[in-house]
């Protein structure tokens, strides 16, 4: 089953993404779908690896009850 996805992008990002898709002779949807497919297949798929990454994030102090973590801190690896 296929589902639609709505994204909110800056104008400049949308423009550059459309150019990149056109250069690859793909639609923007195909470009995003291919990217997500690669991302998912390269992501840790074992429980042990996911737990290891979570422990690393805890050690960096990313998960604490006493403060909010910025988006930049959360995605810094």
Q: How far is the C-alpha of 3 from the C-alpha of 59, rounded, in Å?
A: 37
Provide the number of structural domains found in the chain.
2
Domain residues for the domain of 54 are 46-77
Residue 20 has pLDDT above 80, yes or no: yes
Q: What is the mean pLDDT of the chain?
A: 77
Whether residues 64 and 29 fall in one domain: no
Q: Structure pTM?
A: 0.52
Whether residues 38 and 68 fall in one domain: no
Percent of the chain with pLDDT over 70: 70
Residue 7 has pLDDT above 80, yes or no: yes
Whether residues 58 and 36 fall in one domain: no
Whether residues 21 and 55 fall in one domain: no
DSSP 16-69: HHHHHHHHTT--HHHHHHHHHHHHHHHS--SHHHHHHHHHHHHHTT-S-SSSPP
pLDDT given at position 56: 79
**Which carries the bigger pLDDT value, residue 1 or residue 51?**
1
């Amino acid at each position: 089953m296929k589902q639609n996805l709505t994204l909110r992008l800056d104008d400049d990002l949308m423009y550059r993404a459309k150019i990149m898709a056109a250069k690859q002779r793909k639609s923007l949807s195909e470009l995003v779908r291919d990217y997500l497919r690669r991302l998912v297949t390269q992501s840790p798929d074992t429980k042990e690896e996911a737990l290891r990454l979570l422990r690393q994030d805890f050690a960096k102090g990313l998960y604490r009850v006493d403060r909010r973590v910025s988006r930049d801190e959360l995605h810094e690896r």
